[in-house]
Amino acid sequence: METAERRRAKRLRVNLPLAYQHLGQDNDFGETVAKDISTAGMRINADSFQCPGTGFLVKLRFHEVSKVIEAIAEVVWSQRISFSDQYQAGLRFTEISPVFSQWLEEYILINEALSH
């Protein structure tokens, strides 16, 4: 039985450096990697379980085009990666500027076309 795809936005597999900071916690920040991205959100690797509803300020770095995108994102889900001490989490953008959103949409379309 197939599961229904709930995503409304196309996802692109990536390996992008990501800096983050928990909202409201000035000293709780770090770096990780975004594993896929869309105009609606992203999937990241994490060292620990991330509680759904947790908010982050995120900064995605696109080295090949010298671009950094900032947004506010919220954890939608978090789960342990099988046979690993690592976790993955799905984040949904709750605040992203229209300029960054448009740029991200174009980046995804261009890179999706190049991968086919």
- Using one digit for the tens of pLDDT, what is the confidence trace for 11-51? 899 999 999 999 987 778 899 999 999 999 999 999 999 99
Residue-wise pLDDT tens digits, 46-105: 999 999 999 999 999 998 899 999 999 999 999 999 999 999 999 999 999 999 999 999
Q: What are phi and psi of 81, to 5 degrees?
A: -80, 130
Q: Decide if pLDDT at 4 tops 80.
A: no
The DSSP call for residue 5 is P
Q: Which two tokens stand for residue 113?
A: 């076309």
- Is 12-114 assigned to CATH 1.20.1250.20? no
User: What does the domain layout of the chain look like in residue ranges?
Assistant: 12-114
For the entire predicted model, the pTM comes to: 0.87
